[in-house]
Amino acid sequence: MRFDFRYALVAAALAVPAHCGKFKFCKEVGWVNCNEFDNVQTARCYNLGAEWNKTCSSARSYGGISCYMWSYPNCMGKSAGPVLDNTRYRDLSQFGMDNESSSWECYASL
């Protein structure tokens, strides 16, 4: 069997997290009182700090990523999503996640 370096490059690119987008969490419905995370690495779990834990009511992702929100730290517990690239989730209560999120993780949108 012949080894093709192109497959190795694709596999390596898929295995390495990449900076590819932004994710915004807001404490109010309708994107009010927000914190925006730049240069989000895909396939990496982010925990919300004490100030933002269990306080988010709206969210948005953009820049080629889709994100999931989790009810416990380390991307554990109940999840909701994906918050699709360039889709605005004005009210997280529609997904049972209003004031529930403790962590989030994003993936490259296809």
User: What are the residue boundaries of the structural domains of the chain, listed by start?
Assistant: 18-108
Distances (CA, A) of 3 to 6, 13, 16, 102: 9, 17, 21, 44
Identify the burial level of 73 via C-beta atoms within 10 angstroms of its C-beta, where 0-12 means exposed, 13-18 middle and 19 or more buried: middle
Phi, psi of 11 (to 5 degrees): -60, -40
Half-sphere exposure of 75 (CA within 13 A, CB side): 10
Architecture of domain 18-108: Sandwich (2.60)
pLDDT in tens, the chain (110 residues): 444 434 333 444 444 555 679 999 999 999 899 999 999 999 999 999 999 999 999 999 988 899 999 999 999 999 998 988 767 688 999 889 999 999 999 999 87
Q: Fill in the amino acid letter for 5.
A: F
Q: Fill in the amino acid letter for 76.
A: M
